[in-house]
Amino acid sequence: MGIRKAAKGVSEFLIETVGEVVGEAILSLLACALLAGLAAVAYLSWTFSPRLTIAAAGLASLFLAHGAWRSYRAPAKGRGRGLAAVTTAGFTLVAGTALFLLVYGTGCDCL
């Protein structure tokens, strides 16, 4: 009975370990692909029009700054929240993507 229980414990440990390694590899590959895609978009937009790229970066910065400001500010009573909800969601998405790339994209040796 003791040998079966030990074998079952070892097999569960191996399955869990292999699952974690495969999961980490998939997340690292996804981070590398995302990072390569962002670099390609930046390169292509710069080659198309540097002025338009800088203008779009400025607008995106304003969008994210407004989202960050509305995220950490108390909501105003009696006012519409349409733009505030969109900018807050955009800021949250970009912050989550940045955190994901910080955790998994730092070991990306593909670039």
Tell me the CA distances in angstroms from 79 to 33, 65, 75, 90, 96, one per residue in order.
41, 20, 9, 20, 27
Residue 23, in any domain of the structure: yes
CA dist 103 and 30 (Å) reads 12
Residue 51, in any domain of the structure: yes
Beta carbons of 69 and 91 less than 8 angstroms apart = no
Residue 96, in any domain of the structure: yes
* pLDDT in the model for residue 93: 92
Residue 26, in any domain of the structure: yes
Residue 110, in any domain of the structure: no
Residue 93, in any domain of the structure: yes
Kindly give the parts of the chain with pLDDT less than 50.
none
Residue 111, in any domain of the structure: no
Number of domains in the chain: 1
* pLDDT in the model for residue 58: 93
Which structural domain range is residue 50 located in?
2-104
Residue 109, in any domain of the structure: no
Q: pTM surpassing 0.75?
A: no
